[in-house]
Amino acid sequence: MSTPTTAPAKGRRFNGLPFIGPSVTVLLIWMIVPLVMTVWFSLQRYNLLDPTVTGFAGLDNYEFLVTDPDFWASLTNTLVLVGAVLIITVVGGTLLAVLFDQPFPGRNIARLFAIAPFFVMPTVAALIWKNLMMHPIYGVFGAVARALGLPAIDWFAEYPLLSVILIVSWEWLPFALLILLTAVQSLDREQLEAARMDGAGAVAQFVYIVLPHLSRAISVVVMIETIFLLTVFAEIYVTTAGGPGNATTNLAFLIYARALLQYDVGGASAGGVVAIVLANIVAFFLVRTIARRLEV
Amino acid sequence: MATLRLRGLRKSYGTTEIIKGVDLDIADREFAVFVGPSGCGKSTLLRMIAGLEEITDGDLFIDGTRINDVGPADRGLAMVFQSYALYPHMSVRDNMAFALKLAGASKAERAAKVAEASRILQLDAYLDRKPKDLSGGQRQRVAIGRAIVRHPKIFLFDEPLSNLDAALRGQMRIELARLHRDLKATMIYVTHDQVEAMTMADKIVVLQAGRIEQVGSPLELYHHPANLFVAGFIGSPRMNLLPVRATGADPAGVRVALPGGGEVVVPVDGTRAAPGTGVTLGIRPEALKPGSDGALAGEVSHVERLGGLTLAHVAVADGATVVAQIEGSAPVRTGEAIRLTIDPSATHLFDGDGRALPHRSRHPLAA
């Protein structure tokens, strides 16, 4: 926080509280009320299917949660989903950014097409992939496989988590590309020329000059994407509904299933508290490492 | 040994020709300076020599070998860029060792060469710093160090001092000249600053609009400019140029009529200036001195006092203005009438095409 640059005159002490008070109060209520209610519900016996069961549950909801194999599967799925999408989008985004930075005919049109998926809403994107791309009978992939004389793959049955990862990566690749492309464009061309004079080929230029230049932008992409990828929901809801079994159930979908499919508000709230803790752990490490990098 | 030979070098972007046929020889250990107004193609020419720009037509030889199709790293050149182009995420040491590392030099060899370069440039104390922690002059030296460690045949400089303040620029000029002596290397230097060109060059190449106007030593260009462009470009304040008429041949040279009725005899060969032809008279500002018997009369329109020098702008007849550079703080005043004497040895005559008429005798220092 920066201190006000104009020092208050003596005897006329400036009190900023009335000015920032309202917004702080609103934000506090906005955040605290749901948080406290979630914690409170997580300690209650609260199931909509049986309103007669009430009362303080202690840590029963949590115990039930951590002894549920679905919970650990959902944690693993969440981490695999976040990690895989991050790797695909950052690696793919970096390579595409360097590619789209090169002059070639129709570059602006190509950039527009490459960035377009970001404007498609998640539900629509998931439906397109489910019915037009990955469907074993009507989908493009199936048609291609049959044209090659191969058996069509039923993506959501055989590789459910991979399918979700592909869809989410498709949505987030343009974001990474957009951020990284602007970063690539800000690279001083004379640095690349100096590297060429020093004997650096295309690969050495990329490794020693372009990648270090992009490190900051990559950190930003990783941070922003992580925040959103922890809460992926629509793509799963539309395509697999968390299945088969629990193969594509991430934490967000598990909480949804608890609350609105099993009507177990107490258990869902316990899951919500775990999600908050998890998000904060991730945020702590991310902010620490990235803040250090942004200082450079 | 490193000699450079350019033969009919051309560069076009689409249909626009930037370099319009350049022939040039640069000898071993020569300090050659490309100078010219912005947009004259001097940087493009340097980048063609470096290999950063493709050569549209013509031949480029280093030590007699044609290198048009050799990549920039394999030409044995090193370049210092205007922006320095240091690698921001590498320390000074890594910046200087980068080329050696790519070339596969051993750690010990890298360390030895970096140590040698940093000793020459007095950078030892900064080897572990990042470029952003250095001052402009230090960054400049790192950029030069990056060139030195490669032991190039030819050093290329692209306006390396233009980002420095005036005091530092003066200091770096001397350092670069010393470096040229110590390294015994061939250097090519691009600048738009004629002071840098005059003070450092063995050979100045004046370029305009993609063509060479004149090649020569600094004093040769100053005392024997080949044409109006070079005459106006080299020298500060600019040479005074007056449209005049030749009135007759004289044993000493060509007699011309001055605006306002005076006469001066310019010591040049008069075969191309028959009496009556229109010519351009060039007078260096230091060749004009106040004197009651002066051939040029006019009124002082403006005075610039630099302390050691006084620049008097004098409006003469026909609406022309000449600048007289007078030693010391001369007692000239705006608005007063003045007569100026002309030292004929510092005058030049140019024919209708702007080409200089050859002087009868060469300046002793501009052989």
As a whole number of angstroms, the distance between CA A191 and CA B206 comes to 28
- Cross-strand bridge partners of residue B31: B187
Task: Give me the pLDDT at residue A168, please.
Answer: 93
Q: Where are the domains of chain B?
A: 4-231, 238-350
> pLDDT value at position A12?
63
Contact A190 B52 (CB under 8 A): no
Q: Which residues contact B25 (CB under 8 A, 6 or more apart)?
A: B3, B4, B5, B6
Alpha-carbon dihedral A214, A219, A222, A223, rounded to 10 degrees: -150
Q: Which two tokens stand for residue B256?
A: 């011309």
Contact A200 B73 (CB under 8 A): yes
B174 close contact with A: CB closer than 8 A = no
A196 contacts B52? CB cut-off 8 A: yes
Question: Where is B62: in which H helix or E strand?
Answer: strand B57-62
Q: For residue A296, is pLDDT > 60?
A: no
Domain with residues B4-231, CATH architecture: 3-Layer(aba) Sandwich (3.40)
Separation of alpha carbons B279 and A190, rounded Å? 46
Predicted confidence at residue B360, as pLDDT, reads 83
pLDDT at A2 over 50: no
How much is the pLDDT for A166? 92
| pLDDT tens per residue across span A115-136 | 888 888 989 999 999 888 888 8
- Residue for token pair 């372009």: A210
Q: Which of A161-165, A266-270, B28-32, B283-287 has the lowest mean pLDDT?
A: A266-270
What band does B1 get if pLDDT is binned at 50, 70 and 90? low
Q: What is the pLDDT of residues B230-239, one digit of tens each?
A: 999 998 889 9
Q: Which residue among B72, B82, B83 places its CB closest to the CB of A196?
A: B72
Q: Rounded to the nearest 5 degrees, what angle is found at the Cα of A195, between the Cα atoms of A191 and A197?
A: 115
> Which residues on B lie below 8 Å from A209 (Cβ)?
87
Contacts of A194 in chain B (CB under 8 A): 79, 81, 85-87, 146
Overall average pLDDT of the A232-251 stretch: 86
Predicted complex: ipTM over 0.85: no
Exposed, middle or buried by CB within 10 Å (0-12, 13-18, 19+), for A128? Answer: middle
Weakest mean pLDDT among A3-12, A134-143, A233-242: A3-12
Mind telling me how many Å the CA of A199 is from chain B's nearest CA?
4
- Picking from B50, B83, B88, the nearest residue to A197 by CB comes out as B50
Q: Does residue B338 surpass a pLDDT of 70?
A: yes
Cβ distance of B98 and A198 shorter than 8 Å: yes
Contact: A199, B99; criterion CB under 8 Å: yes
Whole-number Cα distances in Å, A212 to B124, B125, B246 = 25, 25, 68
B132-180 confidence digits (pLDDT tens): 898 888 898 899 999 888 888 899 999 988 888 888 888 888 888 888 9
Domains of chain A: 59-295 (1.10.3720.10)
Question: Rounded to an integer, what distance in angstroms lies between the CA atom of residue B5 and that of residue B23?
Answer: 8
Q: What are phi and psi of A65, to 5 degrees?
A: -70, -50
| CB-nearest partner of A209 from B87, B99, B103 | B87
pLDDT per residue as tens digits for the range B221-280: 999 999 999 999 998 889 999 999 888 887 788 888 888 888 888 888 878 878 888 889
pLDDT for the residue A1: 42
Q: Which residues pair with B347 in a beta bridge?
A: B283
What per-residue confidence (pLDDT) applies to A3?
A: 46
Does residue B101 sit in helix, strand or coil? helix
CB contact under 8 A, A194 and B102: no
pLDDT in tens, A176-224: 999 999 999 988 888 999 998 888 888 998 999 999 999 888 988 888 8
For residue B18, the Cα-to-chain-centroid distance in whole angstroms is 19
Which 304-363 residues of chain B touch chain A by CB within 8 A?
Answer: none
pLDDT band at residue B367 under the 50/70/90 scheme: low
Pairs of CB atoms within 8 A across A/B: 62
CA distance B90 to B99: 13
Mutate to test the interface with A, among B54, B77, B87 (most CBs of A within 10 A): B87
B314: confidence class by pLDDT, cuts 50, 70, 90: very high
How far is CA B176 from each of CA B43, B160, B189, B360, rounded to the nearest angstrom? 19, 10, 10, 36
Element (H, E) at B120: helix B107-121
Q: Do A191 and B87 touch (CB under 8 A)?
A: yes
Chain A residues whose C-beta is within 8 A of a chain B C-beta are: 188, 190-191, 193-200, 204, 208-209, 212-213, 215, 296
* pLDDT greater at residue A1 or residue B22: B22
Residue A14 in this model has a pLDDT that exceeds 80: no
Comparing alpha-carbon positions, the chain A residue that sits nearest to B49 is: A197
Q: What is the pLDDT of residue A8?
A: 47
- CATH fold, domain B238-350, is OB fold (Dihydrolipoamide Acetyltransferase, E2P) (2.40.50)
pLDDT per residue over B60-109, tens digit each? 999 988 988 888 888 888 999 988 889 988 999 999 999 888 888 889 98
Q: What are phi and psi of B94, to 5 degrees?
A: -70, -35
Say whether B72 and A197 touch across the interface (CB within 8 A). yes
